[in-house]
Amino acid sequence: MVNLTGLRVAFAQGAVNYVISDNGGCNIVSSNQGIGRVYFWRHMTLGGARSTYTDDGSLGYIQHIANTAKQTQVGNCTEKSAVAFMYLYDKNRQVCRPLNWCSVGNGAHMFVVIGTISGKKSFINRPETWPDDTIVCDPWNEVVHTGKQWQANQNCASSSIVQEFFC
């Protein structure tokens, strides 16, 4: 029998590593970190690129954000979670589906959720009902949690979770 939770954790950790690693990954630094001229140029480039983000509810929107982050190598939770989402989107579809790009706190934080119930958009804001094999991938905080661990550690009301994209 396949351990779906273990596989999802491994893929999610791979996504976090891909986002932050300079060894075969994207080496995306947080836009509020770093010093020097190169960092300043990257930050300014990202700031200009953010004005091109047009949320049309499509996969292309997430891809655009991810590509921008990979080009500039800088980003906050939106960019980092978009890169992680696309990394997971391209991986094993049986393991990494359903895949949700989510925000919490009126867009204050973005992350990826693997394994909620397919086709149930309203289900995402009730983590207490998530299946046991649900995994939260949060590259901004550089952590991977099971849904239950995330629920126990969250600093916000469950009802503030918004599903930005689902596949």
pLDDT at 32: 61
pLDDT at 97: 85
Long-range contacts of 117-126 (CB under 8 A, 24+ apart): 121/163, 121/166, 124/100, 124/161, 124/162, 124/163, 124/166, 125/158, 125/159, 125/160, 125/161, 125/162, 125/163, 126/158
Taking CA atoms, 71 is separated from 27, 29, 43, in Å, by: 10, 12, 11
Taking CA atoms, 6 is separated from 2, 3, 11, 86, 135, in Å, by: 9, 5, 9, 20, 10
pLDDT tens-place values along the chain, 167 residues long:
568 899 999 999 999 999 999 878 888 887 665 555 445 555 556 656 666 666 777 888 899 889 988 988 888 899 999 999 999 999 877 888 889 898 887 778 899 999 876 555 556 777 878 888 899 999 999 999 998 888 877 755 555 677 777 77
pLDDT at 37: 46
Q: Which amino acid is at 153?
A: N
Residue 26: exposed, middle, or buried by beta-carbon count in 10 A (0-12, 13-18, 19+)? buried
pLDDT at 107: 75
Q: What is the dihedral of CA 138, 56, 75, 36, to 10 degrees?
A: 180
* pTM score of the predicted model: 0.84
